[in-house]
Amino acid sequence: MNILILGSGGREHAFAWKIAQSPLCNNLFVAPGNSGTATVAENVNLSVTHFSDIKTFVLDKKITMVIVGPEDPLVQGIHDYFLNDEALKNIAIIGPQKAAATLEGSKAFAKAFLHKHNIPTAAYQSFNKDTIAEAYVFLEHLNPPYVLKADGLAAGKGVVILDNLHDAKTELKAMLLNSKFGTASDTVVIEEFLDGIELSCFVLTDGNNYKILPTAKDYKRIGEGDTGLNTGGMGAISPVPFADDAFMSKIEQQIVAPTIKGLQNDNLPYKGFLFIGLIKVGDQPKVIEYNVRMGDPETEVVLPRLNTDLVQLFKAVAEQKLDTITLDIDKRAAATVMLVSGGYPEAYEKEKEIVGIETISKSIVFHAGAKLQNTKVVTSGGRVMAITSYGDTYQDAIKKSYQSIEKLKFDKMYYRKDIGFDL
């Protein structure tokens, strides 16, 4: 089988690393890929949102399966594009159609879905510029801190949490009236603040059946002790120690099963990954958000723990036979630590040579914002590489990643030294 992965991050390197191990895969391509994917697959210079270019490539290389890494092409309807094209309609696409991808593309849509299907989540209301006066009144009736969310995709920056009412009103005005996040903040969701510890639950579904993959916890803030600006993710561990059987059973019964049933009832076809961002409030899991893709860097700890052949799993998704598969999960823990460019998530320099990669033997190096320049690997993004290790416990795994990182270097390299600190 010839397979194409769309995307260029650590997540896509992890997909490529895993798929390259499958006997079912003949030729593997990643578009656009990075220096890591180039070691296990062929990189192709295509944009993930130029569907007609992707079509030409897919037909030329006789691709029969496409795995969509990031949300953008899904929210823009790549799966529908394939289904509506006579030459492409039988190609397996891993990722939901546009209607279901709206669960990530619009927070107001996701909240309405959660509400309709009685899935536990924070109380909320959504507002636009015509209802800003009502939004102020709604804020006045909430307790601080105040959670404001731009409805649309805002590159992970659209959630703002503020401690006082005055700042919350100022921010709301900037979002609704001054287009702080462009059209993404034409609608704003205001919700109740939930106090608890976060975790991520990953589900693979064929629309009828589902499999729950290992849980993970990521560390989003740039600074140690979860301080400073939000990032795409600075590290992750799997499994999540506090997600025991009793808690997982609540997640499955109260959240996963009703979500899959809700998708069916609302006629939202779904073949792909669903990433459910959760928060544990007391003993109760509540949904913070849906993403219609895998997480990054969570993929870099979830896939290494999956012993099952990923291509076989994706084939079952495409054929809606996921019920015939039993997942085989590695009992060991996995941890990953992200190396980032100094300055990230604000301005940072690029094209710094990364040295020491070939000396790493006890960890897996997943490249993210890294590219080949002549024969050298240089930085090309904020999040540069994820260093993943296994361990009998998550502490062992983290320790191994930090030992490996000692051998890696680039100018202004930064990483958090406290991954797992809160567990």
Residues at the interface with ligand AMP (CB under 6 A): 122, 147, 159, 191-194, 198, 220, 277, 288-289
Which does residue 193 touch among ligand GLY, ligand AMP, none (CB within 5 to 8 A, set by kind)?
ligand AMP
- From 24-32, 102-110, 289-297, 350-358, give the range in contact with ligand GLY by CB under 6 A: 289-297
Which does residue 296 touch among ligand AMP, ligand GLY, none (CB within 5 to 8 A, set by kind)?
ligand GLY
Which does residue 386 touch among ligand GLY, ligand AMP, none (CB within 5 to 8 A, set by kind)?
none
Task: Tell me which residue of 417, 393, 392, 423 sits closest to 403, measured CA to CA.
Answer: 417
The smaller minimum CB distance to ligand AMP, of residues 68 and 194, is found at 194
Which does residue 233 touch among ligand GLY, ligand AMP, none (CB within 5 to 8 A, set by kind)?
ligand GLY
Residue 32: strand pairing partners: 7
Helices (H), strands (E): how many in the chain? 13, 23
Count the alpha carbons within 13 Å of 144 in the hemisphere toward its beta carbon: 8
CA 407 to chain centre: 28
Q: Rounded to 5 degrees, what are φ and ψ at 52?
A: -70, -35
Task: Tell me which residue of 147, 153, 68, 71 sits closest to 106, measured CA to CA.
Answer: 153
**Cβ-Cβ contacts under 8 Å for 8 (sequence gap 6 or more):** 30, 32, 33, 34, 37, 69
CA angle 219, 300, 411 (to 5 degrees): 70
Q: Which of 171, 296, 300, 309 binds ligand GLY (CB under 6 A)?
A: 296
Cβ atoms of 176 and 183 within 8 Å: the answer is no
- 295 contributes a contact to ligand GLY by CB under 6 A: yes
- From 40-48, 108-116, 133-141, 290-298, give the range in contact with ligand GLY by CB under 6 A: 290-298
Q: How far is the CB of 306 from ligand AMP (least distance, A)?
A: 24
Which does residue 342 touch among ligand GLY, ligand AMP, none (CB within 5 to 8 A, set by kind)?
none
How many other β-carbons are positioned within 10 Å of the β-carbon of residue 237? 29
Distance CA 192, CA 27 (A): 48
Enumerate residues 212-231 that contact ligand GLY by CB under 6 A.
Answer: 218
- 298 contributes a contact to ligand GLY by CB under 6 A: yes
Which does residue 147 touch among ligand GLY, ligand AMP, none (CB within 5 to 8 A, set by kind)?
ligand AMP
The smaller minimum CB distance to ligand AMP, of residues 136 and 193, is found at 193
Residues found near ligand GLY in the complex (CB under 6 A): 218, 232-233, 291, 295-296, 298
